Structure 1
Amino acid sequence: MTFDAHQLDQFLLLGSIVTLAAILAVRLSSRAGLPSLLIYLLMGVALGEAGVGIAFEDAAMAHAIGFGALALILAEGGISTKWSEIRPVIGLGASLATLGVVVSVAVMAVAGHFLLGLPWELAILLGAVCSPTDAAAVFSVLRVVPLPRRITGTLEAESGLNDAPTVVLVALISSGALAEDSIFEIAGIIVYELVAGVGIGLAVGFGGAWIMRRIALPSSGLYPLAILSLATGAYAVAAAAHASGFAAIYVAALVLGNTELPHRAATKSFTEGIGWMAQIGLFVMLGLLLSPGRITAQTVGFALVAGIVLTVVARPISVLVSSVVRPMPWRDLTFISWAGLRGAVPIVLTTIPLAEGVDDSQQLFDIVFIMVIVFTVVTGPTLPLLARVLHVARRSEPRDLDVEAAPLERIAADLLQVTISPVSRMHGVEVGELRLPQGASVALVIRDGESRVPERRTVLRRGDELLVVTPRRLRARTDERLREVSRGGRLAQWLGQDHDRGEPDD
């Protein structure tokens, strides 16, 4: 397929209009408490054969584009995830992404075969594609609900980790391996792909961080590009090694995002923008792939039955079984169970059997598409209310700082730009009371657009921006000390760094 100049102009015009409309739709969806993916999917349907008339039926291309977009979304998720938040619950997140997936697939497969009358292969595929949660769908809703870190960390870890095993499982089933290989061989392949993917992600992440700490690039805009390139490189290396690219890119991005690298805030903003673009393009494309003329009453009925089984049976059982590795209060587990939103991931996974030409895969795509839309509309808006009913909503925000770092080329030092948030306990603290490591100092305080050189008795206020110079060897200690004061105020030295983070640990 080739484009002439006129077609390219039309494509750019349509693309810009769709993108701007999708960006403006974010505000509408956030007010309604719905994930923006619903609007994007419906935009794709409106642009398709039933609306504007754009025909798109290339399942192989949809598969390739979908995987590329998911890789970028996982990279953004890994870079923006704080390891300190998911570390205490990484065991539960990993259990949900593995043991929980197995339980969910089994329950959905049995329901698909006996309740819907699907062949076993299609029933297992239904269970496999429906089992992973979607990070974009989950956190677009949870942004409006102040939750304890143990809950958000669990959901974030699960969403980042459960794509990898389900992709491998769906690919194996679609290729016919389920009929040719034993269950032990399939399990061995899955374990290898996950372990190798995680290993490659760790190697690329730590290796890339080591390199980035030792070079000073001529432009701050190059750092986000380099970080994203390293993460996507991990995906490519893993794919070449027949390992899980999704596990590799998420782990690499998680390592890079939690390493003290230059221009972290700029990198996070850049990857967040890339993640949004990937989501918009992905959801609109998936909407184009749907043909409303194929939707029958039977398709809707199957979608409703599958969604009910998934939401009220498979998901709660999988959460309960997975919690054996880290028991949590029943209120937390109930919320985690209801917050397991499905989004683009299940729909993208259905493009694998579509591309492989599996029998009745088109029916599977239609069932999953309808199920995702209906049950996202049902569960998404109810999450804030459920959080209040279960008393899991957090009353206070984390008293943390926004810290941006830039390397100083001629000396082994870093310049930290610190913004004091409205809820930070650094408000009212004198500069001398920060007690930074010897050799680090506050060089400048910017308040109301005016800069001033601070004295030891200068009192800090909400909204102030500080420029802190620290030797590179003291960078981590300086950063941690600033965060301690932000959380505990001038008494942080005696109260400890974990004082009053806004939530209990259990």
Structure 2
Amino acid sequence: MNTTVTVALAAGAVVVLVAAVALRLADRLGLPSLLLYLALGVVIGESGLGVQFEDYRLTHTLAYAALVVILAEGGLTTRWGDVRRAIGPGVALSTVGVVVSVVVTGAVGVLVLGYDWGFALLVAAVISSTDAAAVFATLRRLPLPRRLAASLEAESGLNDAPVILLVTVLAESLTGESTQPWWLIGLVVAVELAGGAVIGVGVGFGGAALLRRVALPVAGFYPLATLALCILAYSSASLAHTSGFVAVYLCGLVLGNAALPHRAASIGFAEGMASLAQIGLFVLLGLLVSPGRLADAVGPALVIGGALLLIARPLSVVASLVWFRFPWAHQVFISWAGLRGAVPIVAAIIPLNAQVPGATTVFDTVFVLVVVFTIVQGWSLPWLAQRLRIATPVTPRDVQVEAAPLEELDAELMQLTVPEGSRLHGVYLPELRLPEDAAVVLIVRDGRSFVPGPTTRLMRGDQALLVSARGSRAEAERRLRAVSRAGRLATWRGESGAASGTD
């Protein structure tokens, strides 16, 4: 047993290290890293090193766990100021857009491939969800308008839940396990989504209040506690028979935008865990596939994928965004940027577990579709953004403040770095007009530390430590953000320093 565990640990460590090198290679090639992780799983599997793995139930369980971590990280790293104006489009794309996409793609499956309606709708539902990991990883490298990028991120974070529910219902109907009328099923799905949203937001606000008031003995507990709260939101929602995926994303969104102790460290920890979850998930899915069967799936995958990309996705975007006054160029980009990844492949495991006739065909078709269209879309998105003239390089002016509680002093220790383009550059410390019980106590510049005086100016690249009374921390942060965005006359220019973004 000990030898088995040791070998398993060694194999896992090697896989993670190889995946880390693959991530570097993916960045250079401009490809989503998921393709290289999938390839790594295929190499390890039955047609490569010969590892036999066909445990769909275990894969289903581990995949759900990985998706929970990935969605938590997506919420934690999304700024509420960016997503606030995009929540309407995001919800529309993840509901109305999903319905339109499923119906149109299913119709193509019936008319072109000769599928019956139940099976065609199942295949269409499986591929209708955009993938949070692929969207976050790809779009955050592109200089896009905030509202556009936030709409796509909100869609990818919110559409997993309705799609998983829809695939489950369709799989049960094909096996005769569900005989409920469609209107009742739609009502149940709506209630589950709403319930998950309420639980996720509630756990997020409650957890944020708890972490602000409890001084944990070790700073490293804060990142663990933050991620644990997101997982608690998922578990609570699932146990309440509501949508756990909606709950975990919204809980992460609330926590990621709250003034938490060691917030930057918590987000960095979540990013690392999400990367680990992505590696494990995609390698596992690569292990599960049988390359010998994929040749027969290429034709159906190209037909279904082409219908989705060129017909169903554009129609779903138009139907979803008609009320939100998106420019046509933005709608074209959103239509092309509906990236697929792990979520459709995970959804394809549901029919396998339910023993739906033809489920293997669904899985193979979806696997080929994800690989082919990830390559096509991943490489073409930067080019398309330039052709549509929507690439908008933005020089960061906002500052990120990380705080740690000084419990015995009833104070807060804050750390900030002056970013490139920030109007904090050249500002004298008295011009910050911080609260009376807040002060800059140390500056690190070019690797040298010094205690600042009244005539000290902040410079780009400076790292500064500030101490404030606990009650003044929020005001000090607002003032720092305001000056960073609008300069020393920020108040006169109407800049309040609120933690929000603009289009």
For the superposition of Structure 1 and Structure 2, which TM-score range results when normalised by the shorter chain? over 0.9
Offset from partner CA, 1:129-153 (integer Å, 9 cap, x none):
1111112112322233211111111
- Does structure 1 residue 237 correspond to structure 2 residue 236? yes
Structure 2 partner of 1:476: 474
| Residue aligned with 2:443, SS | strand
Offset from partner CA, 1:90-126 (integer Å, 9 cap, x none):
1001110111111111111111122111222221111
Determine if contact 2:418/2:460 at 8 Å carries over to the other structure: yes
Structure 1 runs (4+) greater than 6 angstroms displaced: none
Structure 2 partner of 1:452: 450
- Shift of the 231–144 alpha-carbon distance from structure 1 to 2, 3 Å rule, reads closer
User: Deviation of residue 328 (structure 1)?
Assistant: 0.8
Structure 2 partner of 1:300: 298
1:103-252 equivalences under 5 Å are 103-176=100-173, 180-252=179-251
Offset from partner CA, 1:17-63 (integer Å, 9 cap, x none):
11101011111111211100000011111111001111111111111
The unaligned stretches of length 5 or more in structure 1 are: none
User: Deviation of residue 438 (structure 1)?
Assistant: 3.0
* Counterpart residue type for residue 63 of structure 1: H
- Shift of the 357–178 alpha-carbon distance from structure 1 to 2, 3 Å rule, reads closer
- Shift of the 504–60 alpha-carbon distance from structure 1 to 2, 3 Å rule, reads closer
Stretch moving more, 367-376 or 183-192: 183-192
* Counterpart residue type for residue 461 of structure 2: G
Stretch moving more, 319-328 or 307-316: 319-328
Structure 1 partner of 2:89: 92
Structure 2 partner of 1:441: 439
- Shift of the 20–420 alpha-carbon distance from structure 1 to 2, 3 Å rule, reads same
Offset from partner CA, 1:369-393 (integer Å, 9 cap, x none):
0000001101111111111111111
| Residue aligned with 2:426, SS | coil
Stretch moving more, 438-447 or 427-436: 438-447
Stretch moving more, 269-278 or 106-115: 106-115
Structure 2 partner of 1:20: 17
Structure 2 partner of 1:340: 338
Counterpart-to-counterpart distance in 2, 1:305 and 1:414: 58
Counterpart-to-counterpart distance in 2, 1:504 and 1:228: 28
1:52-91 equivalences under 5 Å are 52-91=49-88
1:316-355 equivalences under 5 Å are 316-355=314-353
Structure 1 partner of 2:36: 39
TM-score, length-scaled by structure 2: 0.96
Determine if contact 2:440/2:464 at 8 Å carries over to the other structure: yes
Determine if contact 1:116/1:302 at 8 Å carries over to the other structure: yes
User: Deviation of residue 464 (structure 1)?
Assistant: 0.7
Determine if contact 1:442/1:466 at 8 Å carries over to the other structure: yes
* Counterpart residue type for residue 124 of structure 1: L
1:385-400 equivalences under 5 Å are 385-400=383-398
1:276-425 equivalences under 5 Å are 276-297=275-296, 299-425=297-423
> Percent of pairs identical after alignment?
51
* Counterpart residue type for residue 71 of structure 1: V
Determine if contact 1:342/1:376 at 8 Å carries over to the other structure: yes
- Shift of the 389–26 alpha-carbon distance from structure 1 to 2, 3 Å rule, reads same
Counterpart-to-counterpart distance in 2, 1:190 and 1:76: 25
User: Deviation of residue 179 (structure 1)?
Assistant: 5.5
Determine if contact 1:30/1:140 at 8 Å carries over to the other structure: no
Counterpart-to-counterpart distance in 2, 1:266 and 1:80: 12
* Counterpart residue type for residue 242 of structure 2: A
Counterpart-to-counterpart distance in 1, 2:395 and 2:164: 36
Structure 2 partner of 1:257: 256
Stretch moving more, 103-112 or 117-126: 117-126
| Residue aligned with 1:445, SS | strand
* Counterpart residue type for residue 115 of structure 1: V
Offset from partner CA, 1:53-90 (integer Å, 9 cap, x none):
11111111111111110011001111111111100111
| Residue aligned with 1:159, SS | helix
Determine if contact 1:80/1:257 at 8 Å carries over to the other structure: yes
Offset from partner CA, 1:288-312 (integer Å, 9 cap, x none):
1100111234x10000011111111
* Counterpart residue type for residue 420 of structure 2: P
| Residue aligned with 1:293, SS | helix
Determine if contact 1:146/1:397 at 8 Å carries over to the other structure: no
Counterpart-to-counterpart distance in 1, 2:121 and 2:250: 28
Determine if contact 2:83/2:154 at 8 Å carries over to the other structure: yes
Determine if contact 1:78/1:253 at 8 Å carries over to the other structure: yes
Determine if contact 2:395/2:420 at 8 Å carries over to the other structure: no
User: Deviation of residue 498 (structure 1)?
Assistant: 8.0
User: Deviation of residue 397 (structure 1)?
Assistant: 2.4
Residue-pair matches, total: 500
Counterpart-to-counterpart distance in 2, 1:212 and 1:73: 22
User: Deviation of residue 172 (structure 1)?
Assistant: 1.5
Offset from partner CA, 1:385-433 (integer Å, 9 cap, x none):
1111111111322311121110111133211101111222211111111
Determine if contact 1:428/1:460 at 8 Å carries over to the other structure: yes
Alignment RMSD (CA, Å): 1.7
User: Deviation of residue 128 (structure 1)?
Assistant: 1.0
Counterpart-to-counterpart distance in 2, 1:418 and 1:432: 17
Determine if contact 2:34/2:134 at 8 Å carries over to the other structure: yes
Structure 1 partner of 2:274: 275
